[in-house]
Chain A
Amino acid sequence: MSNLEKIQKDFLDILLAGDTDKAVALAKETLDSGTAPTEFFEACIAPSLAEIGKRFETLDIFLPEMVTAAEVVQQVNDDVITPAVESSQSEGITSAGKVIMATVQGDLHDIGKNMVVLMLKVNGFEVIDLGTNVSPSEIVERAESESANIIGMSSLLTTCLPYMKDVFDYLEGKNTRDQYKVIMGGAATTPEFSEEMGANGYGHSAAEAVALCQKIMA
């Protein structure tokens, strides 16, 4: 096991314990010993977050642990990685892609969507979370103004599915359908509905949504 592999293992344990101070100290110590910030991100942070995502997928850990791990990583980024990148003038951490996420009009359920948002963030995506009960026009307008790569929609209620169709109609009407990949999920949606709408993908779980976005951006 290389030194960075061992550090990654320790970093994962620290994330699971939710210990911000130790995580920041380990990151600082590793960078002080000559590791580049981007190398630390790719060799330690990214695989640790991927492992946490995997464990959440099987519910070996739960949302609170994942939320805490994301908060710890945010602190490590703010306190160590970002300042180091800025001072070294080296290439920064690149976003895996920009995703607009929304629970569609008429639906106020947000926990499933929040899990997807969190999982995408910990996997390096930039996510614009529009919240719940979002109108089709707002989804399309924000995708345009944010120059998003992906539009993600969620619905728990079958009576909100027509609003998903409206998003496709708006995109077609504006002749911008080709500019975005559109994905969907939530209890009311199915792979068949996704295909019928002409979506670019369907995810049953937060982990599937991440895999889908990674495939789209590859």
Chain B
Amino acid sequence: MRTRGRLHSVLDKAETGPIVEEREFDIEYIQKPIQALVKKYDVKWDKDLFLTDDDDLADRVYQAGYELALNTGVYCTSTKRRMVWTKAELDEVIATSPSSVIMGEGDDLAHIQARRPDEDSRVAVCGGAYGIPVPENLFVPVMLSYAQEPLLDFIDNCSLVSTYGRPIRAGSPWESVACWQEVDLSFAVVNRAGRPGLAIGCAENSPTHIGEISSNSIGGFRPSDWHHAALVSELKTNYDQLIKVAHFARTGSHIHTFANNIYGGYPGGADGMAVALVASLILLQATYFGCTVNPGPTHANLSCDTYPAMLPGIGVALQGLNRNTNLMTTAFARTWGGPGTKNILYEAGALALVGVTSGIALMEGVQSAVGVQTAHCTGLEARFTAQVTHAAEKLTRKEAVPIVKALTEKYQDAMAGGDKPIGKPFDQLYDVDKVVPLPEWQGIYDEVCQEFETEFGLKL
């Protein structure tokens, strides 16, 4: 009943809120207030630090983000209206957000629990290809490379390049066809991995609502899987997302929500981005009332979230949220480097250290080479991310600072220009039939694991 009432309230807001031009929303409700809030709450840190451990700063960032959420709300592009929440409504959203969830079915349950910064409790890990386009013939081996990894509590799917040889057009019947093919292939993967109840992040071929709501029905993806809804940057929703959420609410499906605030975009630099991240996660919960919430900011030019200057902004926003709410926050490694390179491991490791010590409940990744290179994804980088995640559980933010700094020094030059280290596609890094890493990729992984032990004292 509570979910239905909240859903109706959200839909009402999309149809009764004040009408605003989108351009005005971007400037008057995003850009200008963020600039003012950064000054008002003195959001700044030592630029040489890649992870802060200042609780007072974290709380100020949280207050700034809360104020932005309260005064700006969410823009619905379908109705051109600004959806706004009262302080009492937002406070209720925060107070009633779930602090734990059990994903999956049978023997393959995954438990996610909200955490605080510097807490040494276990962090859940979701590994997957997160929408990276993959040819139909490689879907099963690629996803099996994740599902067979015991350290991964659940998985998130890749996208298909085509469906039955045809292009997948957003909003067309082919979207539904592709998502049903994703269902069939996903169940083949989890069954072959011997983990039939494993929760699956889905549907990754559903840019509109069509694929998601057709494949989340009888014989399709299950309510116990991990269904997605997103805010479009900055703080925008639309009927496609709201239709999905109406369906999820009725079917009792687990909802994972995320926002991709743009570093260098309307929020400005890492300080403004941190404020926007906090506002986004509060408003994700208010709009979609999901279980897990992800701030997955995007570099305006590189599209990754591991750019060194972004890391303290991500960390301090997560710390503010995890100190002041029970939200199950996540960190999501979207790396500039691709599989088959050391860069991807350094980048994913740095983000995991920032996220885990800042109190995330769930580590996600890796969206290799920022997710646009066909089939550039393997289970090995997800295994590595999980290993670093669990090693980081025993560290405080202060202890993680020098490690994060050392890691950024290893990969930052590759982001400064020149050729992008995209690595190699799956079939050049794994034996496709046996689904095991080939010696070259295994060797690079072993070498970086050894570096973590000898240089940082982290046994993976």
Contact = CB atoms under 8 A, between A and B. Distances in A.
A-B complex is real: yes
Interface of A: 56-57, 59, 62-64, 67, 105-112, 114-115, 132, 157-163, 165, 187-188, 190, 204-205
Nearest to B159: A158
Contact of A63 (B238, B240, B264): B264
Interface in B348-384: 370-373
A22 to B, nearest CB: 19
Interface of chain B: mostly helix, strand, loop or mixed: loop
B266 interface: yes
Contacts of B234: 111
A159 B205 contact: yes
Contacts of A111: 233-234, 262, 265-266, 300
A161 B167 contact: yes
16 contacts: A59-B300, A59-B301, A62-B272, A105-B171, A106-B208, A110-B232, A111-B262, A111-B300, A115-B300, A157-B207, A158-B159, A159-B178, A160-B169, A160-B170, A162-B168, A205-B301
B120 to A, nearest CB: 36
B268 interface: yes
Contacts, number: 90
Given A59-B264, A157-B170, A158-B159, A187 B303 contact: yes
Interface residues of B, number: 40
Contacts of A159: 159, 168-170, 175, 178, 205, 207
B428 interface: no
Nearest to A58: B301
Interface of B: 26-27, 31, 35, 77, 133, 159, 161, 167-171, 175, 178, 205, 207-208, 232-234, 236, 238, 240, 262-266, 268-269, 272, 299-301, 303, 370-373
Contacts of B266: 63-64, 67, 111
A205 B238 CA distance: 26
A159 to B, nearest CB: 4
A169 B234 CA distance: 33
A165 B178 CA distance: 19
Contact of B170 (A64, A106, A204): A106
B345 to A, nearest CB: 23
